[in-house]
Each structure stands twice: as structure tokens, then as C-alpha cells.
């Protein structure tokens, strides 16, 4: 068998380079110092596997040159600079290294937390740069007995919680997508009420960046916080609304903030830099020697495994080749992932089980359907941490049961695929089909027969079937300046109805609360695809 070529496009730790150089079964090219135009035009065509970081975009030019590449390893967590759909169409597996910098991110969070309560950077600069000895200017507070609210209790958030407990803090975790025992087993309070977090002395956020979490701390949330609250963000830029955060820092509502990530980077002209109650770092979450070493080693090992065809660790996509799947199957894979994601968004609760049900010829591909549905469900809570390779393993690790069922073809559709999601709050069933030319439709939600295009921002309003409800819903949308782009209604035999309202814009708390206040309302949920 001929040797495979691995190209390193950007700088990684020497230990990773050594692993590649010492493997006699591969050809290793270190192109980190090459000009990007030369890299793409002359070196990428030679590669079977590439290792990249943020300096190399896996864009259309890269893909056009990647005639022989079967896998790309992103040495780090973020894949913002990678065209994953384009890579998938070309049969290229995209992998990242999601856990190598966990401890680095945790410890940076603790660094900002301690720096904020003791105003360490300012005391340091006062003495070292200004040569002023004024101890009375730098009274801080202690972490002991302070209440820490953690938003997102995954790999990083849970470890922050453990360390905070060592400081004798009172820790509260908010994460609707985990089992409460994950927190309570650590003697940490678990809450489903976001207001409990807003009442904490210090708040730190550790969630993926998605439609639900962008700007989840804004002006309204800050107004409900304690006077002198401290906010930390070492996760993703944009989770805190920066304008609201700036206003709170200026008026004193927020005593201090520790910020490592920004909406737009590099943030060398950001207004936060002009304030004297913010500690800032230039996105250093992964910047430790140990983290960089771990990232490089894992990236090198993953690249070698991919080059040899052994495995594709942490793959973020599944290559779909024209000659490997019937044409009619691919849109069903996309549809079932959308259904899974929609189900998780509507319920917003800890998942207990995922059941995938298929009828018709598409049932021959039920295993793949199960994987795509699981990715769709878990992406809502885990973001990039879940992928097509690890989805079922991650589900098992969280105690989530996955099952698949083939049923007789009695629905009237040639093919139908459905997801039955059981959560801590209840059960939701959504079924869909695909018509000619990849026309995807949701055809059933629970017992309601509908015809819904799974697209955009959708509100799911379940109500008693009484006169005037459609008008009430329309008025609420108009009052909140939301245009209705589609309105679908299903009815059952229990005098109940389900409206699926697609809107142009974002669903706000005000909209949800207004809908919930209607006398006919039974439940309200929403999803964005």
C-alpha cells in the first residue's frame, strides 16, 4: 500500500510534529511557514490529510485544490473557518480536537473570577507601572460564601463548579439539557429556573453558541441581577449582549466583568478596553503549553488514524458520496436531523430516550437515520461536541436510550420518518416525509396532522379549540412587530389544536409570555432551523 501524505498547514506544538515525522508509514510535509497561495496551489494537491488551525481557511479554493484529501483535522475546537457542507459533498471528513483545552479554559475562567474579586490587574499595574503603593485603593471581596451561577454544565462548566466548591462558594448550575444528578452529585444546586442564576453574586457562562444562547444575557436579564454583580465569559463571544454589558459596567450595576471572548476579534478597539472595571484577555482559552501540546498530539494522532483508514475521531460530518446512497435517502437524512433538532428545541429538557421510526424503502437505512436524529437532538445542548461518529456514544454516556423501529407502510406516504423524543418534561412525536425534488415536510406533530416546511423560526402554540385564537395569536405577533410568513393549523378529537407559526425575526420572552397568558393556551414552544 502506498504511503499517505499528511500536510500541516499551520503551526502546532513540536510534539505533534514529532509524532508525524516519526511515523514511517506516512509522508509528512510541514507547510506552516509557506505562503497561503503556495500552500493551496502547490502543496494541498499532494495531501491525503491536512491539519489546519485558524490561519488556513478550508474554503472553496482549498477544496478545489484538495483533489486527494479524505480528511481535515482542525487542531482546536472551533471550525468557523471550515466549509463543512462543502467538505461533506466532496467526501472529506472534518475532525476537530474538542477536549484538549478543557482544563486551560477552566483555569482561565478561575483566573478571571479571582482577578475580578481582587482587582488584581489594576493593583498590579498601579504598583509595577505607576510605582504607587496605595493598599487602601484595592479592597476586594472573597469568594467564600459567595453565590456562583454557572450557565451550561458540560465539560468546562462542571469543572469550574468543582473548583468553586473548593473556594467554599455556594454554586448553582443551570443547564436544562443535563440530568440534575450531574450537579447534585457534586453537592451543587441544580435549577431549572433561570431567575435563580440572575440572583447570584457572580455569573459565568459555558454554553455552545447557537440561536438559543446568543445574547441570552441582555438588558432585561442584567436589570434583574444584584447590584454589583460580577460576570465572566471565557466561552464564546456574543453570549452576553455586549451593548447591555457595556451599559451595566458604566452605570455600576455590574461591578466587574472578566472577558476573554468578543463578538468581533481581534478586539483591539473595543470599548471594554476603556473601562477600569473589566479584566480582558485576547481569547486565551486554549493558550497553555499543556493545552497546545495536547491539541497537537491529538491532531497528529487523529490525522494518522484517518490517513491509514483506521478511524475518524471527533468527526463533525459524514461524507456522502453519490455512488454510496440512493438519491432519495439523502434528503431524509437531512430531514430526520432537522426533526431531532426541532424536537429538542421545543421541549428544552433533559433527554431520556430517542426513538426513530421509519416506514417504506427509507427504512433500509434506519441505522443512519438513527445517527442523524441523535446528532440533531444533542446538537441543541452540546453544539460541536457531538458529531456523526460519537453521537450514540455520547448519548449512552448521558444515559439516553436510542432505539429504531420499522413500521408497516400504512400512513399513505411512500416513505415516512419520525422521531419520538422522551424528556424529563414529557414526550413529543414528530413525523415527516419528502416529496419530489427534495420537498421536505413535517406531516404530524403528536396527534396533529399538518403540512409544515421545516425551515426558519417556528412557534408551536397548543390551545383549546375555541373561536378567536388565531386572531389573538396574530395580534401578539403584530404587537411585537413580527411578520407571519406561514401559519399552519392541526386539530384533534379532544377540542384541542396546534398552530405552527413561522415568523420573520426572533422569538423573545415577551412573545412567549404573551402567548402563555392567553386563556386558550395549553403550551408554547419554539424552534429555529
| Residue whose grid cell is 466587574 | 256
* 74 belongs to the catalytic site: no
Residues 337 and 375: beta-carbon distance below 8 Å: yes
Q: What is the grid cell recorded at 246? A: 457595556
Question: For residue 489, what is the enclosing H or E element?
Answer: strand 483-491
Within 8 A by CB and 6+ apart from 239, the residues are: 205, 207, 209, 213, 214, 215, 216, 217, 233
* Of 93, 59, 52, 57, residue with least CA distance to 76: 52
Cα 34 from chain centroid (whole Å): 33
Q: Which of 25, 265, 290, 367 is catalytic?
A: 265
CA atoms of 335 and 442, how far apart (whole Å): 9
Question: Does 283 qualify as catalytic in the annotation?
Answer: yes
Closest CA to 39 of 13, 8, 73: 8
Q: What is the 3-state secondary structure (H, E, C) of 41-109?
A: HHHHHHCCEEEECCCCCECHHHHHHCCCCCEEEECCCCCCCECHHHHHHCCCEEEECCCCCHHHHHHHH
Q: Give the C-alpha separation, 59 to 106, whole Å.
A: 31
- List the one residue out of 356, 400, 368, 366 whose CA is nearest residue 381: 400
**Pick the catalytic residue: 13, 236, 341, 416?**
236
- Annotated catalytic residue within 74, 283, 416, 462: 283
CA distances from 245 to 149, 240, 262, 345 (A): 17, 7, 12, 27
Edge to edge, the sheet with strand 448-452 lists: 401-406, 351-359, 416-423, 426-435, 439-445, 448-452
**381, 423 in Cβ contact below 8 A?**
no
Confirm whether 42 is a catalytic residue: no
Judged on CB neighbours under 10 Å (0-12, 13-18, 19+), 505 is: middle
- How many CB atoms are closer than 10 A to CB 90? 17
C-alpha span between 419 and 370 (Å, rounded) = 9
Residues serving a catalytic function are 236, 265, 283
Amino acid at each position: 500500500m502506498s504511503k499517505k501524505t499528511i500536510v500541516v498547514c499551520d503551526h502546532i506544538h513540536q510534539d505533534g510534529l514529532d509524532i508525524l515525522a516519526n511515523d514511517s508509514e506516512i509522508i509528512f510535509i510541514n507547510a506552516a511557514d509557506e505562503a497561503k497561495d503556495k500552500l493551496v496551489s502547490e502543496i494541498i494537491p499532494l495531501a491525503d490529510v491536512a491539519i489546519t488551525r485558524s490561519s488556513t481557511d478550508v474554503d472553496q479554493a482549498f477544496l478545489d485544490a484538495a483533489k486527494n484529501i479524505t480528511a481535515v483535522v482542525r487542531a482546536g475546537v472551533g471550525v468557523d473557518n471550515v466549509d463543512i457542507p462543502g467538505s461533506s459533498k466532496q467526501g472529506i471528513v472534518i475532525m476537530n480536537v474538542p477536549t484538549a483545552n478543557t482544563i486551560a479554559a477552566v483555569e482561565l475562567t478561575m483566573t478571571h473570577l479571582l482577578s475580578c474579586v481582587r482587582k488584581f490587574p489594576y493593583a498590579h499595574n498601579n504598583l509595577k507601572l505607576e510605582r504607587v503603593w496605595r493598599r487602601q485603593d484595592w479592597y476586594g471581596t472573597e469568594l467564600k460564601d459567595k453565590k456562583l451561577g454557572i450557565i451550561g454544565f458540560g465539560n468546562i462548566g462542571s469543572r469550574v463548579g468543582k473548583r468553586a466548591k473548593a473556594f467554599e462558594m455556594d454554586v448553582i448550575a443551570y443547564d436544562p439539557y443535563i440530568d440534575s444528578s450531574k450537579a447534585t452529585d457534586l453537592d451543587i444546586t441544580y435549577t431549572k429556573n433561570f431567575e435563580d442564576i440572575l440572583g447570584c453574586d457572580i455569573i459565568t457562562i459555558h454554553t455552545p453558541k447557537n440561536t438559543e444562547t446568543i445574547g441570552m444575557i441582555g438588558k432585561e436579564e442584567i436589570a434583574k441581577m444584584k447590584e454589583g454583580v460580577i460576570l465572566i465569559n471565557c466561552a464564546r463571544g456574543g453570549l452576553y449582549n455586549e451593548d447591555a454589558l457595556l451599559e451595566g459596567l458604566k452605570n455600576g450595576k455590574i461591578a466587574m466583568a472578566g472577558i476573554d471572548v468578543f463578538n468581533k476579534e481581534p478586539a483591539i478597539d473595543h470599548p471594554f478596553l476603556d473601562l477600569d472595571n473589566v479584566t480582558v484577555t485576547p481569547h486565551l482559552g486554549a493558550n497553555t503549553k499543556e493545552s497546545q501540546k495536547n491539541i497537537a498530539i491529538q491532531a497528529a494522532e487523529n490525522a494518522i488514524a484517518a490517513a491509514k483508514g483506521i478511524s475518524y475521531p471527533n468527526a463533525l460530518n459524514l461524507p456522502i458520496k453519490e455512488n454510496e446512497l440512493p438519491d432519495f435517502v439523502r434528503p431524509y437524512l437531512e430531514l430526520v436531523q432537522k426533526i431531532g433538532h426541532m424536537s429538542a428545541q421545543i421541549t428544552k429538557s433533559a433527554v431520556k430516550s430517542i426513538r426513530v421510526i421509519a416506514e417504506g424503502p427509507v427504512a433500509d437505512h434506519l441505522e443512519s437515520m438513527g445517527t442523524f436524529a441523535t446528532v440533531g437532538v444533542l446538537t441543541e445542548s452540546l453544539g460541536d461536541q457531538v458529531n456523526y461518529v460519537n453521537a450514540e456514544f455520547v448519548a449512552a454516556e448521558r444515559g439516553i436510550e436510542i432505539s429504531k423501529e420499522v413500521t408497516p407502510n400504512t400512513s399513505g406516504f411512500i416513505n415516512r420518518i419520525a422521531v419520538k423524543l422522551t424528556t424529563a418534561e414529557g414526550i413529543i412525536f414528530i413525523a415527516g416525509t419528502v416529496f419530489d425534488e427534495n420537498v421536505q415536510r413535517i406531516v404530524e406533530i403528536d396527534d396533529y396532522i399538518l403540512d409544515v416546511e421545516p425551515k426558519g423560526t417556528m412557534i408551536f402554540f397548543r390551545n383549546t379549540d375555541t373561536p378567536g385564537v388565531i386572531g389573538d395569536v396574530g395580534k401578539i405577533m403584530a404587537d411585537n412587530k413580527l411578520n407571519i410568513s406561514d401559519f399552519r393549523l392541526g386539530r384533534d378529537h379532544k377540542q384541542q389544536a396546534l398552530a405552527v407559526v413561522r415568523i420573520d425575526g426572533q422569538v423573545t420572552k415577551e412573545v412567549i409570555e404573551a402567548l402563555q397568558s392567553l386563556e386558550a393556551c395549553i403550551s408554547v414552544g419554539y424552534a429555529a432551523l
